[in-house]
Amino acid sequence: MQKSEIRAFIIIPFTLLAMGLVELSSISQFYFERQLAWAFFSASVFALFSLVPLKFWKAFGIPIYLISILFLALALMMGGPGPRRWLQFGSTRFQPSELAKLGYILIAARILSNRRKSQIALLLQLGLLALIPFLLTIAEPDLATSVTFLWIYFFLLYLFDISPFYLAFLVMPPLAVITSFSPILFLILFVGALLHSRYIKAGLAYTVSLLTLILLLGFSTPLIWKKALKPYQRERVIAFLAPEKYRTGSGWQILQARIALGSGGFGGKGYGRGTQKGLSFLPAAHTDFIFSSFGEEFGFAGSLLVFLLFGGLIYATLRSSFRMRDRFRRALGFGIGAYFTYHFLANVGTNLGFFPVAGVPLPFMTYGGSHLTVEAALLGLLIRALKEESSSYRILE
């Protein structure tokens, strides 16, 4: 491994953090100072995770996961009637779901490093470990954050060459629910599943079971829509599909985010001159919509820079992971890459109006200490994995 790769994993996140701090300083001096304090704390976390050998984190991943599950349960029990996503420690609020992401990545990498496990065992163990934080997080309620665990689960299975026989039964059901809103898309999915069965030369029982499952889930979507989603979640989806009809309701956030990005032009309005956030038209400019706020002040050029930096970070993470020969280090890298990919796509997709309002932080830029601390830990683990992989190459040579 080259030192340039390690430098990239320091320079890119630091640049994104600096950009986020600049934007936060134009929004609120309070948010800027709090985030700066979290940045210094996260730097110490980064140093800790990058200096301690991976064998320690491989063993300590189980306690981290179990502690995060305990904290998630405590947040549900101690919270009030509203969202129960945080634990209060004095004047500091902590979001247990962020720690759960770190714990799940570590424990999943440990399981995948075991060559003796069958694919069925991997599917069940990883699935169960993802399902527990998924259910606890969705009960907070925080649907977008809960999806993170499923995303990492599928991401790891796909990159570790799990048999397409099994993957189809994992991927097709949620797709059936999503596409059932459009008869054409649902038909395409159904035909695709049929072609998939023929391509992998599956037997009649497999094909019938897969198609039956798709049909059952597709036609039961109205029940899922009414019973599984809470009213505010349904409202967000409807507002996403037709924001112009909800200008004063849930569609307000999506419309204002689009206006902020569009009004920035190519070069932006300039630092501190954003009118959408300055006049309080853009809600949550320091959290969910910091990308739109940044785009309004720094324009298309600034937004493009954010895209390029995240694209470079994700590409470098996955590229380095594919080159790692140790299974634990490779799985760890894939899990970290899945984390950054989901958070970037979910946050920016919301700001661009591609997805309903999700409440997923943009790594390194969004205000908040819980996610920044975990992101620093993940970067430290990644750099530690690169160093140990490089050392193993030298030993072999």
pLDDT (tens digit per residue) in 185-212:
778 888 888 887 887 787 888 888 888 8
Length of the chain: 397
Residues 369 and 38: their CA atoms lie apart, in Å, by 5
pLDDT digits (tens, 9 = 90+) for 120-162: 788 888 989 999 999 898 877 777 888 899 899 988 887 776 7
Q: Does the pLDDT at position 394 exceed 80? A: no
pLDDT digits (tens, 9 = 90+) for 29-42: 888 999 999 999 99
Consecutive H or E run containing 87 = strand 87-89
Give the count of beta carbons closer than 10 Å to the beta carbon of residue 326.
14
Q: Residue 184's pLDDT is what?
A: 77
Q: Is residue 40 classed exposed, middle or buried when 0-12, 13-18 and 19+ CB atoms within 10 A define those classes?
A: exposed
Residues 220 and 162: their CA atoms lie apart, in Å, by 28
Task: State the pTM of this model.
Answer: 0.82
Selection from 74-78, 254-258, 314-318 with the highest mean pLDDT: 314-318
Q: Does the pLDDT at position 48 exceed 80? A: yes
Q: Residue 244's pLDDT is what?
A: 47
Q: How confident is the model at residue 395 (pLDDT cuts 50, 70, 90)?
A: very low
CA angle 207, 164, 223 (to 5 degrees): 60
Residues 209 and 381: their CA atoms lie apart, in Å, by 41
DSSP string computed for 108-137: HHHHHT-TTS-HHHHHHHHHHHHHHHHHHH
Q: Residue 53's pLDDT is what?
A: 93
Instruction: Please indicate whether residue 121 or residue 341 has the higher confidence score (pLDDT).
Output: 341
Q: Residue 274's pLDDT is what?
A: 65
Q: How confident is the model at residue 118 (pLDDT cuts 50, 70, 90)?
A: confident
Across the chain, mean pLDDT equals 82
Q: How confident is the model at residue 355 (pLDDT cuts 50, 70, 90)?
A: confident
Joined together, the tokens standing for residue 313 give 């970070």
Calculate what percentage of the chain has a pLDDT beyond 90. 35
Q: Residue 83's pLDDT is what?
A: 62
Mean pLDDT of 310-338: 93
Q: Does the pLDDT at position 113 exceed 50? A: yes
Q: Which long-range contacts (C-beta less than 8 Å, at least 24 apart) are formed by 11-15?
A: 12/309, 12/312, 12/313, 12/316, 13/313, 13/363, 13/364, 13/375, 13/379, 15/309
* H runs (alpha helix) in the chain: 3-27, 29-51, 54-78, 96-112, 119-138, 143-159, 164-179, 183-199, 204-219, 221-227, 231-241, 251-263, 275-278, 290-323, 327-352, 369-396
Residues 290 and 274: their CA atoms lie apart, in Å, by 12
Give the count of beta carbons closer than 10 Å to the beta carbon of residue 306.
22
